[in-house]
Amino acid sequence: MGASRGTLVRRLASNTRELPRDAGFTLLELVGVMVILMIVLTAVTALFVSGSRAQVDLNERFTAQTEARVATDKIRQEVHCASGVTTASASSVTISLPAACPTAGGVDTTVVYDTSLVSTSRYELRRNGSRIADYLTTGDVFGYVASSTDSLAKLQLDLPVNVDPNKAWKQWRLQTDVVLRNTTRS
């Protein structure tokens, strides 16, 4: 043991200075990481919220457009079978259905299609008082052309649909003419 006790203490003291410190992160580093994390979480949350709103808007527009298509098909089916139109205006039409029509229930009947104001700039299309289409932007959806020597009578439909009337670019329009097959040329 040729080393003295003082030499050992110096060697141990110099070795401890060279050991790495295990002090952790500073408060400034932790706050910086938390700020970055909050920015990323805020951006991701905003992305999900935006996507959810877009999905809700898409579903509302799809539902309104589908209702208009189904209503048009129902009107077309009944008008093709109808024996005539008894009254017609821009917002209402009454058609006569003979007993042979599938929706007449075996008896001669009349069916009234009309529009009703739900709120400002929002109308619904009704069949005998029951809603069959919603989110119409006008109540004037019908046009009637009486039969002539050249053609049978026809009912014109113009269904402008928009779930957000403040955004005119989102409007979707379904227009069609439906011939009353059981009318005669006059």
Full pLDDT tens readout for the chain, 186 residues: 556 666 766 666 665 555 556 678 899 999 999 999 999 999 999 999 999 999 999 999 999 999 999 999 999 999 999 988 889 999 999 999 999 999 888 899 999 999 999 998 899 999 999 999 999 999 999 999 988 888 898 999 999 999 998 888 889 999 999 998 877 777
pLDDT for the residue numbered 183 = 75
Q: Are 96 and 86 in contact (CB under 8 A)?
A: yes
Q: What is the enclosing helix (H) or strand (E) of 95?
A: strand 92-97
CA pair distance 81, 108, nearest whole angstrom: 12
Residue 69 one-letter amino acid: R
At residue 17, the pLDDT reads 55
Burial (Cβ within 10 Å: 0-12, 13-18, ≥19) of residue 149: exposed
Residue 79: the pLDDT is 92
Give CA–CA dist 36/5, Å, rounded: 53
pLDDT the model gives residue 25: 87
pLDDT, position 18:
54
Q: Which pLDDT does position 130 carry in this prediction?
A: 95
